Amino acid sequence: MTRPTDTEPAAASGRWWGVSLAAVLTFCAIAAANAVRGEGGPWLPVGLTLAISAAYAILFLLMGRKATGGSSDAWILAAATIAAAAALTALVPSNAVFQFWAFPLVWTVLPAPRVAIPAAFALAAAVFGGFAISTGDEPGWLMTALLTQGISFGFSLAMGLWLRSVYVYGIERNRLLGELTAAQHELAMLHRDAGVTSERERLSRELHDTLAQSLTAAVLLVQRARRELADGRVADGALELVEESVRTALSETRVLVAGSAPIELAGGGLASALETLAGRFRREAGVAIDVEVSLREPLDRESEVVLLRCAQEGFGNIRKHADAERVTVSLTDDADGAVLRIRNDGRGFDPDADADGYGLSGLRARLGLVGGSLELDGTEGAVELRARVPRGGVA
Which amino acid is residue 63, in one-letter code?
M
pLDDT of residue 174: 87
Q: Which of 35-39, 94-98, 285-289, 303-307 has the least mean pLDDT?
A: 35-39
Helix (H) or strand (E) holding 386: strand 383-390
pLDDT in tens, 363-381: 788 888 888 999 999 899 8
Average pLDDT, the chain: 81
Mean pLDDT of 20-47: 81
What's the rounded Cα separation, in Å, for the pair 13 and 9? 11
Confidence of residue 228 (pLDDT cuts 50, 70, 90): confident
Angle at 38 between CA 37 and CA 44, to 5 degrees: 40
Residue 243 is predicted with a pLDDT of 79
d(CA 177, CA 130): 47
385's enclosing H/E stretch is strand 383-390
State which of 35-44, 146-155, 355-364 shows the largest mean pLDDT: 146-155
pLDDT at 288 exceeding the cut of 60: yes
The model's confidence at residue 38, banded by pLDDT at 50, 70 and 90, is low
Angle between helices 301-317 and 269-284 (to 10 degrees): 10
273 sits in the region (left: phi over 0; alpha: psi -120 to 50; else beta) called alpha
pLDDT, one tens digit per residue, over 181-191 is: 888 888 888 87
Task: Judge whether residue 169 has pLDDT over 60.
Answer: yes
Q: What is the pLDDT of residue 125?
A: 93
Q: Strand pairing partners for 390?
A: 337
Contact (Cβ atoms closer than 8 angstroms) between residue 307 and residue 254:
no
Name all domains of the chain by residue range, CATH numbers in brackets.
15-138 (no CATH), 267-395 (3.30.565.10)
Question: For the residues 116-131, what does the mean pLDDT come to?
Answer: 90
Buried b / exposed e across 305-328, counting CB within 10 Å, b at 16+? bbbbbbbbbbbbbbbbebebeebb
Bridge partners, residue 294, by sequence: 332
Q: State the first-to-last Cα distance of the chain, in angstroms, to the nearest integer.
A: 49
Check whether 8 has a pLDDT greater than 60: no
Range name among 65-69, 205-209, 218-222, 301-305 with the lowest pLDDT average: 205-209
- Select the more confidently predicted residue: 267 or 276: 276
For residues 282 and 258, what is the distance between their CA atoms, to the nearest angstrom?
Answer: 10
Q: Which residues contact 278 (CB under 8 A, 6 or more apart)?
A: 289, 291, 315, 327, 329
Check residue 166 and give its pLDDT.
80
Question: pLDDT tens digits for 306-352?
Answer: 888 888 888 878 877 788 889 999 999 887 889 999 999 988 888 87
Task: List C-alpha distances in Å: 285 to 24, 135, 153, 303.
Answer: 84, 102, 85, 27
DSSP string, 325-368: SEEEEEEEE-SSEEEEEEEESS----TTSPPSSSHHHHHHHHHH
The mean pLDDT value for 74-83 works out to: 90
